[in-house]
């Protein structure tokens, strides 16, 4: 963060305040209001943080107008085409692409940690079989701090590192166990000879009674889903992880908080909500009814999988995901699937309808990832857990960046109080 000589001037009640303007490497300048309350006795008001930078960060950059997403400066399209998920994890965590030896070492470290403590399966068995896998994950990931005490001391950089590797390695195992538990099948142990994505597919779809061979096209599509969801700067769940971490909470607790936030339908839960919406629409002839509902403010209905807080041009992840969707559907030969026909027609109408064009509501990444995951055979309830696996590296990279920052302090937003002013307590008989 470079200071500039530029300042902004605020005039309030006849007094003038000079506010420094900070410059990042790219992106809008930022007005530094840290001293404003002390000097002027006012807060700023920004519900939803639409205009507020809560931190500086060197990890991910989004230009919503251009539809650009950079991980450590590298465009997402190049990474999706030429890289793979574990290399992207290394990049996000350490800031640079690894050389061969660094990659091999990182792969070895992640692979060594893919199994979970054997006792954990008894913890799983305490959940109802019909529990949503996200509910199970919030609980089990939170409980990791009870299983891995030796990596909860956040003041020790080595323990922070081990916690990061443990979470990247174990989240797929935990998500697959949540799935297996929900369908009443035995847990499948990780197979370290497989790729990160391949291992996850194997843990979800293998059964002891027969061999499961990971299809390379599905493996690549899964790897891409993971790369595209790996980080997204200060989104709601990442901000949740940072806020939880700012109090000094252990990293497993912080990631569990991130998973809880991700679950909501306006965030990571959108992929499940989108597929459920497509199923509810059911047939192409019912689409106009749903488009009309989406345009009607009083209906409370939104087209799931459309729109984004930051991308007001297109979601660059959606472009790549659409390509993958086509590859997977070709491989599986399911072009005539009614759900897919509804999805394609909905996409076509929304892209040509004035309401959606004028409000810049494009299909987002979750619109296409849901279609792919459905085609792969995942139940909709597993869509958000897969997002959570993928985003873990982003959460942990942002958490590590925050903890290592010497200026870091506990997050504590202010408020505009609109409640009762001071009044005296009345005894119940006189109320």
Distance CA 189, CA 108 (A): 17
Considering only 253, 281, 303, 389, the residue that binds ligand CMC (CB under 6 A) is 303
372 touches ligand CMC (CB under 6 A): no
319 touches ligand CMC (CB under 6 A): no
Shortest reach from residue 408's CB to ligand CMC, in Å? 25
272 touches ligand CMC (CB under 6 A): no
With CB under 6 A as the contact rule, which of the stretches 37-45, 201-209, 361-369, 397-405 interacts with ligand CMC?
A: 361-369
DSSP code for 210: B
Shortest reach from residue 267's CB to ligand CMC, in Å? 4
Shortest reach from residue 90's CB to ligand CMC, in Å? 23
Residue 422: CA atoms inside 13 Å, Cβ hemisphere, count? 0
Which of 366, 405, 424, 427 is the catalytic position? 366
Q: Which of residues 60-99 bind ligand CMC (CB under 6 A)?
A: none
Shortest reach from residue 381's CB to ligand CMC, in Å? 17
Shortest reach from residue 385's CB to ligand CMC, in Å? 14
Considering only 306, 362, 378, 399, the residue that binds ligand CMC (CB under 6 A) is 306
Shortest reach from residue 266's CB to ligand CMC, in Å? 4
Considering only 267, 319, 391, 400, the residue that binds ligand CMC (CB under 6 A) is 267
The smaller minimum CB distance to ligand CMC, of residues 110 and 365, is found at 365
239 touches ligand CMC (CB under 6 A): no
Strand ranges of the sheet holding 60-63, from the earlier edge strand across to the other edge = 60-63, 68-71, 74-75
268 touches ligand CMC (CB under 6 A): yes
The smaller minimum CB distance to ligand CMC, of residues 136 and 272, is found at 272
- For residue 31, the surrounding DSSP H or E stretch is strand 30-31
Cα 217 from chain centre = 24
305 touches ligand CMC (CB under 6 A): yes
With CB under 6 A as the contact rule, which of the stretches 2-10, 21-29, 72-80, 299-307 interacts with ligand CMC?
A: 299-307
Q: Helix 216-228 crosses helix 316-332 at what angle (to 10 degrees)?
A: 160
With CB under 6 A as the contact rule, which of the stretches 7-15, 102-110, 246-254, 360-368 interacts with ligand CMC?
A: 360-368
Distance CA 269, CA 366 (A): 9
Distance CA 277, CA 299 (A): 15
The smaller minimum CB distance to ligand CMC, of residues 60 and 364, is found at 364
Residues 6+ apart with CB under 8 A from 421: none
Vertex 80: Cα angle to 77 and 86 (nearest 5):
140
Residues 6+ apart with CB under 8 A from 84: 195, 196, 223, 227
366 belongs to the catalytic site: yes
Coarse DSSP helix, strand, coil percentages of the chain, rounded to the nearest 5 percent:
55, 10, 35
359 touches ligand CMC (CB under 6 A): yes
The smaller minimum CB distance to ligand CMC, of residues 166 and 229, is found at 229
SS3 311: coil
Distance CA 311, CA 319 (A): 13
- For residue 71, the surrounding DSSP H or E stretch is strand 68-71
Shortest reach from residue 86's CB to ligand CMC, in Å? 22
308 touches ligand CMC (CB under 6 A): yes
Residue with the two structure tokens 């086509």? 326
Find out whether 179 and 273 touch, Cβ atoms under 8 Å: no
Name the residues annotated as catalytic: 308, 366
Interface residues toward ligand CMC, by CB under 6 A: 232, 235, 266-268, 270, 294, 302-309, 359, 361, 364-366
């Amino acid at each position: 963060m470079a200071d500039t000589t530029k300042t902004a001037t605020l005039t309030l009640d006849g007094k003038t305040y000079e506010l420094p303007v900070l410059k990042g490497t790219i992106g809008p300048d930022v007005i530094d209001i840290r001293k404003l309350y002390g000097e002027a006795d006012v807060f700023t008001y920004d519900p939803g943080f639409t205009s507020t930078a809560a931190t500086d960060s060197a990890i991910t950059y989004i230009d919503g107008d251009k539809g650009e997403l950079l991980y450590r400066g590298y465009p997402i399209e190049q990474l999706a085409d030429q890289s793979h998920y574990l290399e992207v994890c290394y990049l996000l965590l350490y800031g640079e692409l690894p050389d061969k030896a660094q990659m091999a070492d990182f792969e070895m470290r992640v692979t060594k940690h893919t199994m979970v403590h054997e006792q954990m399966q008894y913890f799983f068995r305490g959940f109802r079989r019909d529990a949503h896998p996200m509910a199970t994950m919030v609980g089990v990931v939170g409980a990791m701090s009870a299983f891995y005490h030796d990596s909860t001391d956040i003041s020790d950089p080595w323990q922070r590192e081990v916690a990061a590797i443990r979470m990247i390695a174990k989240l797929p195992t935990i998500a697959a166990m949540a799935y297996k538990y929900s369908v009443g099948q035995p847990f499948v142990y990780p197979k370290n000879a497989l790729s990160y994505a391949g291992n996850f597919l194997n843990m979800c779809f293998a059964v002891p009674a027969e061999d499961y061979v990971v299809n390379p096209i599905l493996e690549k599509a899964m790897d891409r889903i993971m790369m595209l969801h790996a980080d997204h700067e200060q989104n709601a769940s990442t901000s949740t992880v940072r806020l939880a971490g700012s109090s000094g909470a252990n990293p497993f607790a912080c990631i569990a908080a991130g998973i809880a936030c991700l679950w909501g339908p306006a965030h990571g839960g959108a992929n499940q909500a989108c597929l459920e919406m497509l199923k509810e629409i059911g047939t192409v002839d019912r689409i106009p009814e749903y488009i009309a509902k989406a345009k009607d403010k009083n209906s409370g209905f939104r087209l799931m999988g459309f729109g984004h807080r930051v991308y007001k041009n297109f979601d660059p992840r959606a472009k790549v995901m659409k390509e993958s969707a086509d590859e997977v559907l070709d491989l599986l030969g399911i072009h005539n699937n009614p759900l897919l026909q509804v999805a394609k027609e909905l996409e076509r109408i929304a892209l040509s309808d004035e309401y959606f064009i004028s409000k810049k509501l494009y299909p987002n990444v979750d619109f296409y990832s849901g279609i792919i995951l459905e085609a792969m055979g995942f139940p909709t309830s597993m869509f958000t857990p897969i997002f959570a696996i993928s985003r873990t590296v982003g959460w942990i990279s942002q958490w590590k960046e925050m903890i290592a920052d010497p200026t870091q302090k506990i997050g504590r937003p202010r408020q505009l109080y609109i409640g009762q002013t001071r009044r005296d307590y009345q005894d119940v008989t006189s109320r």
